[in-house]
Each structure stands twice: as structure tokens, then as C-alpha cells.
Amino acid sequence: MNRRSARPGSTATTPGPVRPAGAPPVRVRPAAAAVLLPCTAAVAAVAAAHLVPAATWLPRLRAACFPRLAGLGHPRHVALTFDDGPDPATTPRFLDALDDLGVRATFFVLGESVVRHPGLTREIAGRGHELAVHGWTHGRPWLPAPARDLRETELAGRVVHDTTGRRPRWYRPPYGILTSGRWAAARRAGLRPVLWTAWGRDWTADATPASVRAAVGADLRGGGTILLHDTDRTAAPGCWRAALGALPGLVRDCREAGWEVGPLAEHGVGARAER
């Protein structure tokens, strides 16, 4: 070991232990890392528990593994559903079109819109349609908030019941993202989650009646549930016209295939799985 003698005005240096040549460097994990890793793992576990159920958004997985959640019902019936209303600028047009076609549907409504437009909400029910819960607002649930989910889901169900005198039965989360918190909230509120088997992709700016009809037809089978939108409040402005224009052709296609078209209340959700 080589030592350098200290001289006046100089600083003595004593090298540490000599490490053999080629030996890997010594790494000391900071104490903070020992705390951070378990915390990170815990956060990841919570996030996974929150979002993993949302994998049911995948249509093929949903239809194969969760037929009731997919809205599969009686094979000679098709459920027609609309999301995001009520909207006084557009929903009445859909109500008139459905009257002309002799069809009743299920409208998944937002609680905040029901409060703003109670008269229109009562009109939907008065024309023979079914109302269901789409949440209070149309937010994305990326962060776990079980207390908020329960509070808002129960409140939305209550305002629908108080406004129409009819207790809603179904729940569909915005964007179809059914997190564990929203699933639990729906069950606690006495609502049954249901998504869809075919949609029209009618929320895009380039949607047309023909494209909506083709998109629905590509996935629709007897016993399926159709998702359309009766408003553009969370989509491209004016895109509701594509869904409205596609309605007559969609209903005609279903009838020519020998399928009745109606609300979820008449759909027998789960009937196919039980047969």
C-alpha cells in the first residue's frame, strides 16, 4: 500500500482498499429505494385492480367470456340503444324517427343532462322508450375514485327515477370503460352493467349514414345490442346526423333478417347463454 507523507501546507490522502482488477463496482442501494419499490408495487397493484376489468371493452373478449355484459339476448331480437342524451337539439329528432319506424329503444342518459332537461327526459319515457344510466358526467375514469363512482352512479339513477317515476335497470359507463369501481357502484345502485355487440362508429367527423349502417352490420347478429348516439355533445359536431340517417336502413336490415328491434327490457339479456 502506498502512502504519501503529509507536508506542511498539504493535505494527507489515504486511499481506500484496493479493489482487484476487473472486479465489478460496489453498488449500494439507497435507503429511499428500499421504501420506494414496495410503494411503487402497491400503486401498480391498485391501478391494475382498477383498470383490468376495463378489458371487457374489447368486443370479442366480451362476447366470448361475458355474454350478458355484451348485451347478448334472445336470438330473434336486437336491442337498440342510444348514449349521451338527452339533448334538446337532437334527441327529439330521434324520437320522431323511431315513432315513424314503430320502434322503441333504450336511452342511456347522463344525470346532469336529465337535471337540465327534465321535460325531454319525461318525453322519452312518455313515448314508450326505456331510460338507463350512463353516469352523471361523461368523464374518463383513469384514476381510482370508488367513493365518487358510487355517489354519482346512485345520484344519476335517482334523478332518472324521480324525473320519470320509473326505476332504471341498466348501466353503461361512458366510453364503455367499466372499471372495478364503476362495476361495484352499479351493483350497489341496483343497476346491471351492459355494453354492446355492434356499434356504428357514429361519433366521428367523417361518419355517414352508409358508414354507420355498414359498421353495425359488420358485427350484428341475432341477439345483439346496437350502440348509437342521439347527440354530438361528446363527439364531432353534427355527427348525430349520420346515426339518424342510418336508422331506417338498420331497422329494415334487422327485420329482413327476421329480428325484432326493441329496448333492452324486451331483449332477454342472458337468454342465449341460458338456452
Task: Tell me the catalytic residues.
Answer: 83, 229
Burial class (CB in 10 A: 0-12, 13-18, 19+), 10: exposed
What is the secondary structure of 231-258 as a DSSP string? --TTSSTTTHHHHHHHHHHHHHHHHHTT
Could you give the CA distance from residue 145 to residue 50 in angstroms, rounded to a whole number? 9
Residue 251: count of CB within 10 angstroms of its CB: 20
Residues 6+ apart with CB under 8 A from 203: 229, 232, 234, 235, 236, 239
Reduce the DSSP state of residue 240 to 3 states and report it: helix
